[in-house]
A and B are shown apart, each in its own frame.
Chain A
Amino acid sequence: MEYPKHYDVIVIGGGHAGTEAALAAARMGSQTLLLTHNIETLGQMSCNPAIGGIGKSHLVKEIDALDGAMAKATDKAGIQFRVLNSRKGPAVRATRAQADRVLYKAAIRDLLENQEGLDIFQQAADDLVVENETVTGVVTNMGLRFMAKTVVLTTGTFLGGVIHVGLENHSGGRAGDPPSIKLAERLRALPFRVGRLKTGTPPRIDARSVDFSVMELQPGEDITPVMSYMGKVEDHPTQTPCYITKTTASTHEIIRGGFDRSPMFTGVIEGTGPRYCPSIEDKINRFADKNSHQIFVEPEGLTTHELYPNGISTSLPFDVQLELVRSIPGFENAHITRPGYAIEYDYFNPQDLNHSLETKFITNLFFAGQINGTTGYEEAGAQGLLAGINAALRVQGKETWCPRRDEAYIGVLVDDLITLGTSEPYRMFTSRAEYRLILREDNADLRLTAQGRELGVVGDERWHFFNEKKAAIAVEHTRLKNTCVRPNSEHATVANKYLQRPLTREYTLEELLRRPEISAKEIAEITGKYDVRPDVAEQVEVQIKYAGYVTRQQDEIDRLRKNEATALPEDFDYENISGLSNEIKQKLLSNRPATIAHASRIPGVTPAAVSLLLVYLKKKDLQAKAAAKLSA
């Protein structure tokens, strides 16, 4: 039957991409359906129980700046919070939280169920309805047809999923869940370029069988941070520590002994894993001279004894898994609750997408998350949010949107995928962002919230909160600029305690804060009474400290702005541009870059080639004008 209600947006998949997509579309006023094969696993963290980390927390904060779910849920589920790179400068500082799986899922479920305009339906999607190369609906496995203006596909590792433990393997979407075989077959019949990737998880361990006394304790931060800009420490559940242990020489020997039964080394797994080492056997194989590896022992939650030993992801046979786990200090008597495994799955070459994440071949069909070759909850959530926004914009008949590389890590992520494609599971690192000093954790709201409000994805509460903060920043900035410290004054005596040379002339507080020896804390001490909100004080400090570098990056961005704005027509005739080498022609033809700037980022496209493109664009433009004149 055909379901009587017709939707604006259907989202297939209830993982991190799917939930953000569905919530975003609904926030923007679209009638949205979230189609999942199992309502109980909505918002499931299928891999490690942590959110954030370097590069990743930046994405979470951006999702939050656009009023998404991930940071809010993390604040309600986080059982240990840490700030990484805390001594290295604010641009690369990153918040990371261990999350209780049950609490996280509950927080996401709560947001979904209370979102106006969002329906949830439990049924596996088997087929897409495609008419005239435009998607118009979805068919479930019991033959139910849901019609919609747009469809967002977020099927993660479920497409053609194969789970490997040793040389044994079976179909599966995630341990305990069925894969989407029918849908995979259906999609393979469409003109998308398909590849195989692999990822893996470690065996889980029962905490009651572990001796923590021989491990290093890793507590959370003394001053607990929050993930959401609107988050409060009071929202956090009880905090609990993690532990660190290490592999031993005998662990390595046991693992080497299992190489002949490893699906990775025996060629059973065809999919490409990442260049960084996700599995312990990979680490020991590639870095044979390293005789120990760290393992972070992370609790899975407050209401379970299960532990996630981060660092020993493996697809070795179970007997080897058990033996290797028990060779690790503290795990001598460990009981494994679930075996580790590797999973191979289909992904679609993201070069077949536009920056809106709409597919190039099927109109109104969007792809987000692991299906595009990425790994990680944060990468998935960011894409889901973007796809949801763009599906809703499409329904409204508006231009699609994607932040630029200098505006957001979301922009870096999508641009990298679309420009370069990926041959390994793509993970965010801060080194991927050329404007790292601008794209900070602390200013994602300043970068994106106003844009989000304009798009309609940011709600009233956040908008008011944001405006208050922005105003407070301006006030504080003015105060620092206009408050002077005179030499020999009372304030100068305090300042001189920290300065290498005492003040000899009048300084504004802003000038003082620019010095490496002075931070916001010292400014507070110098001026005495200080009632500025901590997030505001931090923001102003960072802006002042980085001002020189930020200006330089901004100049670079401004120089390239024109190239970003110069569109290359989709049917641009690269074949007939004389002077372009065949290699460059091929790259441009297969990539079909959207703008001049996009073209210039394709590896191998030279500055001279970009100049030629500009000249030919202009020529086309002149020809069109001449033709218009003739016909007039």
Chain B
Amino acid sequence: MSDYFPDTIAAIATAAGKGGVGIIRLSGPESLDIAKRFIGFNPKPRHAHYCPFQDRTGVTLDEGIALYFKAPHSFTGEDVVELQGHGGPIVLDMLLNAAVAYGARMAAPGEFSQRAFLNDKLDLVQAEAVADLINSTSETAARSAMRSLHGDFSQYIDSLLKQLIDIRMFVEAAIDFPEEEIDFLADSQVLQQLKNLSNDLTRLIETANQGALLTEGIRVVIAGRPNAGKSSLLNALAGKESAIVTDIAGTTRDVLKEQIDIDGMPLHIIDTAGLREASDAVEQIGIARAWNEINQADLVLLVYDATNEAEFDPRNDWQELLSALASNDRLHLIANKIDQTDLPEGIDHGGEFPKISLSAKTRIGLDLLTSHLKNQVGYRSNAEGIFTARRRHLDALSRALESILAGTAQLELANAGELLAEDLRVAQEHLGEITGKFTADDLLGEIFGSFCIGK
């Protein structure tokens, strides 16, 4: 099966964060070629080469160590190249971007492990772990990618998609229904629409590249009864680092948001006050927002008072919350106020949900929580961070733009409607990586809904 994958994938292989080492990993038949373009020479297998990493224009993006593992003696069983640099999300993002420009494809979530397994590099025991990884990382990736780009982003995408479908509708109808009186292709409107679309797309890519549409970090919701110590936990987490970035938004009845930064990992902490009591319309709005936050959360910390340990039963007390969370692995229990009990600090993975015992007030166990948070949310070495997810979107947009421009040229220079149609189909496939599939049958549905066709 070792030739199962004909293409070369790339991803950031290290936890995002400031400082330390940042690694870009490539796997697949073109890894060596791509490495050569980064460093200017052929790396020797299993040798550490210290050298600059350059992009296509010869600009040095970073300096570091290039490692080449020749197939099948690598993690994935394919040719693998690692570029280890100084890290930092921006630099890693630029390196990844260059790798894609050199011909690599952004790895899908869990894809390195998948290749390793399919190429006999992992044993049967690890199969479940690989499956879990694919599953959890694609979920995290989808969530973080959507959120990594500002809410406006999805609106832009929707409008671009609509424009594209509109044009395809005309182009395909002209090809499949030439006897329907109107030659849509001869209509100069199509050309104008194509130009508008590529302009809008260019603008979107530029804005996104400048970071204007980027919000970073993972989202942690703190839930619990009013007296459980949510606020003190929030303060304890925020106070640990003096890195509070944003202010508190909304009213007291709204959700409270803080952005904090733990070892370079940004966290949005949301305190859902008053989740369970609604007595008036304003509160209901607050509660609706709180539920919305919970749905989007990467992690939900359910705080309870450890002095009531015996009576606490999340299955019973928090049914609504549990059913709101699609997967239970996002829920973590915090037994707070252990200073008032004789319980020790610690993490317990034995129960249905992971449980961390701590005291927000005395800060006992707080370090355990922060390292647990870092471990949890996409910062394991194989999982992908926000930049990767965002880069995948931007990459899809750029490739869509490329196809649209190529198609426009075909129409303008050669009046080749069928080639325009092909380029637009490819463009839609690229956009589909962000928006989900749009099938040929969907397109026919649009055509039949808009034009009176059939004899």
Q: Which residues of A contact B (CB under 8 A)?
A: 54-55, 84-85, 88-89, 91-92, 274-278, 283, 286-287, 290, 293-296, 310-311, 313, 416, 420, 429-434, 436-437, 516, 549, 553, 558-559, 562, 577-579, 603, 606-608, 611-612, 614-616, 618-619, 622-623, 626
Contact (Cβ within 8 A) A88 B452: no
Tell me the interface secondary structure of chain A in the complex.
mixed
Contact (Cβ within 8 A) B114 A614: yes
Q: A88-B174, A608-B109 are in contact. List 13 more A-B contacts (CB 8 A).
A: A88-B185, A88-B418, A89-B416, A278-B454, A294-B181, A429-B444, A431-B440, A608-B108, A611-B110, A612-B131, A616-B131, A618-B127, A626-B124
Residues of B within 8 A of A437 (CB): 418-419, 422
Write 7 A-B pairs (CB below 8 A) sorted by A numbering: A54-B177, A88-B185, A89-B416, A313-B455, A608-B110, A615-B117, A623-B124
Residues of B within 8 A of A579 (CB): 131-132, 134-135
Q: Which of B418-455 contact A (CB under 8 A)?
A: 418-419, 421-422, 425, 437, 439-441, 443-445, 448-449, 452-455
Residues of A within 8 A of B274 (CB): none
- What CA separation (Å) do A84 and B416 show in the bound complex? 15
Residues of A within 8 A of B134 (CB): 579, 608, 611-612, 615
Contact (Cβ within 8 A) A608 B138: yes
Contact with A along B382-422 (1 / 0, CB 8 A): 00000000000000000000000000000001101111011
Contact (Cβ within 8 A) A275 B444: yes
Contact (Cβ within 8 A) A436 B176: no
B172 CB within 8 Å of chain A: yes
Task: Select which of B7, B413, B439 is within 8 A of A559 by beta carbon.
Answer: B7
- What CA separation (Å) do A117 and B181 show in the bound complex? 48
Contact (Cβ within 8 A) B135 A432: no
Residues of A within 8 A of B455 (CB): 294-296, 310-311, 313
Task: Select which of B117, B175, B439 is within 8 A of A430 by beta carbon.
Answer: B175
Residues A431 and B443 in contact in the complex (CB < 8 Å), given A84-B178, A611-B108: yes
Task: Select which of A88, A293, A434, A516 is within 8 A of B178 by beta carbon.
Answer: A88
Residues A615 and B444 in contact in the complex (CB < 8 Å), given A54-B175, A89-B417, A283-B454: no
- What CA separation (Å) do A578 and B335 show in the bound complex? 30
Tell me the interface secondary structure of chain B in the complex.
helix
Contact (Cβ within 8 A) B453 A430: no
Residue of B with least CB distance to A284? B452
Residues of B within 8 A of A420 (CB): 441
Residue of B with least CB distance to A429? B176
Residues of B within 8 A of A296 (CB): 179, 455
- What CA separation (Å) do A290 and B444 show in the bound complex? 20
Chain A min CB distance to B408 (Å): 15
Residue of B with least CB distance to A86? B178
Task: Select which of B138, B177, B418, B452 is within 8 A of A91 by beta carbon.
Answer: B418
- What CA separation (Å) do A291 and B108 show in the bound complex? 52
B350 CB within 8 Å of chain A: no
Q: Which of B117-141 contact A (CB under 8 A)?
A: 117-118, 123-124, 127-128, 130-132, 134-135, 138
Residue of B with least CB distance to A580? B135
Contact (Cβ within 8 A) A276 B448: yes
Residue of B with least CB distance to A422? B441
Q: Which one of A313, A559, A615 has the greatest number of beta carbons of chain B within 10 Å?
A: A615
B82 CB within 8 Å of chain A: no
- What CA separation (Å) do A156 and B211 show in the bound complex? 60
Residues of A within 8 A of B443 (CB): 431
Contact (Cβ within 8 A) A84 B441: no
Residue of A with least CB distance to B134? A611
Contact (Cβ within 8 A) A434 B444: no
Residue of A with least CB distance to B119? A618
Chain B min CB distance to A251 (Å): 14
B6 CB within 8 Å of chain A: yes
- What CA separation (Å) do A578 and B117 show in the bound complex? 17
Residues A54 and B114 in contact in the complex (CB < 8 Å), given A431-B444, A618-B1, A619-B127: no
Residue of B with least CB distance to A435? B422
B111 CB within 8 Å of chain A: yes
Q: 9 tightest CB-CB pairs across the interface, nearest first?
A: A579-B135, A608-B138, A276-B454, A516-B414, A287-B452, A89-B418, A275-B448, A277-B454, A619-B127
Q: Which one of A310, A416, A614 has the greatest number of beta carbons of chain B within 10 Å?
A: A614
Residues of B within 8 A of A294 (CB): 179-181, 455
Residues of B within 8 A of A88 (CB): 174-175, 178, 185, 416-418
Residue of B with least CB distance to A618? B118
Contact (Cβ within 8 A) B135 A276: no
Chain B min CB distance to A50 (Å): 10
Residues of A within 8 A of B417 (CB): 88-89, 92
Q: Which of B173-206 contact A (CB under 8 A)?
A: 174-181, 185
Q: Which one of B1, B178, B445, B454 has the greatest number of beta carbons of chain A within 10 Å?
A: B454
Contact (Cβ within 8 A) A603 B131: no
Chain A min CB distance to B453 (Å): 5
Chain A min CB distance to B383 (Å): 14
Residues of A within 8 A of B132 (CB): 578-579
Contact (Cβ within 8 A) B179 A84: yes
Residues A89 and B419 in contact in the complex (CB < 8 Å), given A274-B454, A562-B4, A615-B117: yes
Chain A min CB distance to B449 (Å): 8
Task: Select which of A293, A434, A611, A626 is within 8 A of B425 by beta carbon.
Answer: A434
Residues of A within 8 A of B180 (CB): 294
Q: Which one of A92, A516, A562 has the greatest number of beta carbons of chain B within 10 Å?
A: A92
Contact (Cβ within 8 A) B454 A431: no
Contact (Cβ within 8 A) B176 A54: yes
Residue of A with least CB distance to B439? A603
Residues A436 and B118 in contact in the complex (CB < 8 Å), given A277-B452, A612-B131: no
Contact with A along B1-14 (1 / 0, CB 8 A): 10010110000000
Residue of B with least CB distance to A516? B414
Contact (Cβ within 8 A) A615 B453: no
Residues of B within 8 A of A626 (CB): 124
Residues A615 and B179 in contact in the complex (CB < 8 Å), given A89-B416, A516-B414, A579-B134: no
Residues A611 and B114 in contact in the complex (CB < 8 Å), given A277-B452, A420-B441: yes
- What CA separation (Å) do A328 and B114 show in the bound complex? 66
- What CA separation (Å) do A296 and B179 show in the bound complex? 10
Residues A293 and B452 in contact in the complex (CB < 8 Å), given A436-B421, A615-B114: yes
- What CA separation (Å) do A432 and B440 show in the bound complex? 5
Contact (Cβ within 8 A) A615 B127: yes
Chain B min CB distance to A574 (Å): 13
Residues of A within 8 A of B454 (CB): 274, 276-278, 283
- What CA separation (Å) do A431 and B176 show in the bound complex? 7
Residues of A within 8 A of B123 (CB): 622
Q: Which one of A89, A295, A430, A433 has the greatest number of beta carbons of chain B within 10 Å?
A: A89
Contact (Cβ within 8 A) B179 A578: no
Contact (Cβ within 8 A) B418 A611: no
Residues of B within 8 A of A578 (CB): 128, 131-132, 135
Contact (Cβ within 8 A) B135 A612: yes
Contact (Cβ within 8 A) B452 A283: yes
